[in-house]
Amino acid sequence: MDPLSDLAYDIVMSVERLAAALQEKNVKLPPAAQEELGYSLLEVLRKLDSYRNRAERNFVRTGRTEHSLECLAYDVARSAERLAVALQARNLTLLGYVKLHPWVRKGMRRTLHESLRQLNSYADQIERRFVQNHVDVHGVQGEVFPYQAGRFVPFLKHGFLAFAEGGPPGLLALAGQAASDESETTVGEVAVEIYIGSEDESKIKKIVQSAQQLIEALGYEEVGEPEILRGSIFRRSRAVAQVGLDELKIQLMKVERGFELAQLDLRQAEVNVKESEAVSGLLVSLEGVDRACIRIGSLLVVKYKFGGAPVVFVRTLNQLEMHALTRFPEIQTNPERALSLLATAVQSLSDLEGGDGGTALSEGTN
């Protein structure tokens, strides 16, 4: 059998494993990961189609469905299988297939090896993260109430990252009323607050450095001397925007996308590399501590342990939430309850401003 045909059949087996993993009920990739994986599969499919066109004498392209990643993966498998069959037929000199030139075979071999490595990597990651590392979604929902946990990314060994989304209707309505308020937390100068539940200076240094890289990725530059409170560490500073409002919004979207891809080894557009590397660097630095809370303007990242496993929650804050954290920064020193305390603080502030006589944060943060 032609070695190239063997490679093509290896791709068939790899992509069928990937498709089977994608069909598992526990596998639900975040939107950014779906998009990147879909792009990669389409790229592999395009290459296979191109080489199959060279290997087959008469080639008629059939339509394909793009309704789901698993369907796209099976399309890749069918294309690789037809390529393998075409290469075998050419080897047996049946049907008058034209012999492939050496330079074509060399390029095809390189492409097939790269495609096989890429597909095996995707299948390995999805099996190890999403199939084997099952996330108790229902249990997690109680952790972020009144928010909803979504866009889960299981970590490689144990634990996961997720976004804290939505919120109770009352808070969403209040946020909508405040959306037009272009306060300092939206543009110009923003708060940078870092709580780290550790006194290990080397770990603190790594987290602060990675947070500073994320500040730059978001389009800001830290200014002035930070205020540092010991007893664990709570570091507070300010950052000034280096780009305009529209660019700040784009950078925030890129960083959010980086969290969705959270250390998944998927091919990404070059324009997103800086943001993805900054996010990955922050997550790696946070592996050294059990508890942390980082806020850069409207971006909140909370790390603690849930059921003995590390969890990271990401929240894009609205104006009221940023105002609440400015009024009650101590919320961030309690990562385990930061989200629930934040919702309570927002509601308390709205009661006070509405003249209802409510008291902010009826429960302490400790």
pLDDT digits (tens, 9 = 90+) for 6-20: 888 888 899 888 888
Report whether pLDDT(289) > 90.
yes
Task: Extract the tokens encoding 68.
Answer: 């789901």
Do residues 151 and 64 both lie within one domain?
Answer: no
Domain housing 287: 137-353
Comparing CA positions, the residue from 315, 292, 314, 342 lying closest to residue 160 is: 314
Do residues 168 and 305 both lie within one domain?
Answer: yes
Report whether pLDDT(67) > 60.
no
Classify residue 253: in a domain, yes or no.
yes
Report whether pLDDT(274) > 70.
yes
Do residues 292 and 180 both lie within one domain?
Answer: yes
Kindly state the average pLDDT of the residues 81-110. Answer: 68
Classify residue 280: in a domain, yes or no.
yes
Do residues 251 and 189 both lie within one domain?
Answer: yes
Q: pLDDT-derived band of residue 81, with 50, 70 and 90 as boundaries?
A: confident
Kindly state the average pLDDT of the residues 77-83. Answer: 84
153, 129 Cβ separation under 8 angstroms: yes
Q: pLDDT-derived band of residue 105, with 50, 70 and 90 as boundaries?
A: confident
Domain-terminating residue out of 131, 146, 169: 131
Which has the higher per-residue pLDDT, 80 or 174? 80
Q: Which of 192-206, 222-236, 251-265 has the highest mean pLDDT?
A: 192-206
- Given CA atoms 48, 51, 56, 61 in this order, what sign does their dihedral have? positive
Classify residue 227: in a domain, yes or no.
yes
118-122, 234-238, 322-326: lowest mean pLDDT where? 118-122
Amino acid (1-letter code) at residue 328: F
Classify residue 359: in a domain, yes or no.
no
Do residues 200 and 338 both lie within one domain?
Answer: yes
86, 97 Cβ separation under 8 angstroms: yes
What pLDDT shows up at residue 173?
A: 58
26, 130 Cβ separation under 8 angstroms: yes
Comparing CA positions, the residue from 155, 84, 89, 157 lying closest to residue 115 is: 84
Classify residue 364: in a domain, yes or no.
no
Q: What's the Rg (C-alpha) of the chain?
A: 25
32-41, 63-72, 179-188: lowest mean pLDDT where? 179-188
Average of per-residue pLDDT values in the chain: 81
What pLDDT shows up at residue 96?
A: 45
Report whether pLDDT(94) > 90.
no
Helices 102-126, 3-23: crossing angle, 10 deg rounding: 20
DSSP H or E segment with residue 295: strand 292-296
Report whether pLDDT(315) > 50.
yes
Domain-terminating residue out of 131, 147, 164: 131
Q: How far apart are CA 64 and CA 362, in angstroms?
A: 58
Report whether pLDDT(352) > 80.
no
Q: pLDDT-derived band of residue 268, with 50, 70 and 90 as boundaries?
A: low
Report whether pLDDT(182) > 80.
no
Do residues 224 and 340 both lie within one domain?
Answer: yes
Q: pLDDT-derived band of residue 65, with 50, 70 and 90 as boundaries?
A: very low
What pLDDT shows up at residue 89?
A: 63
Which has the higher per-residue pLDDT, 63 or 243? 243
Do residues 154 and 109 both lie within one domain?
Answer: no
Domain-terminating residue out of 131, 155, 184: 131
Do residues 34 and 102 both lie within one domain?
Answer: yes
Q: pLDDT-derived band of residue 259, with 50, 70 and 90 as boundaries?
A: very high
Comparing CA positions, the residue from 269, 290, 265, 295 lying closest to residue 280 is: 265
Q: Residue 308 class from Cβ within 10 Å (0-12 exposed, 13-18 middle, 19+ buried)?
A: exposed
Q: pLDDT-derived band of residue 90, with 50, 70 and 90 as boundaries?
A: low
Classify residue 148: in a domain, yes or no.
yes
What pLDDT shows up at residue 362?
A: 45
Do residues 274 and 218 both lie within one domain?
Answer: yes
Which has the higher per-residue pLDDT, 162 or 83? 162
Task: Extract the tokens encoding 330.
Answer: 């101590």
Number of domains in the chain: 2
Classify residue 362: in a domain, yes or no.
no
What pLDDT shows up at residue 267?
A: 64
Q: How far apart are CA 208 and CA 283, in angstroms?
A: 12
Classify residue 363: in a domain, yes or no.
no
Task: Extract the tokens encoding 76.
Answer: 């890749």
Q: What is the pLDDT of residues 109-120, one digit of tens each?
A: 888 888 888 889
Comparing CA positions, the residue from 174, 166, 183, 146 lying closest to residue 353 is: 174
Do residues 194 and 103 both lie within one domain?
Answer: no
Do residues 322 and 221 both lie within one domain?
Answer: yes
Q: How far apart are CA 139 and CA 339, in angstroms?
A: 15
Do residues 141 and 281 both lie within one domain?
Answer: yes
Comparing CA positions, the residue from 118, 120, 49 lying closest to residue 86 is: 49
Q: Which of 32-46, 80-94, 95-109, 350-364 has the highest mean pLDDT?
A: 32-46
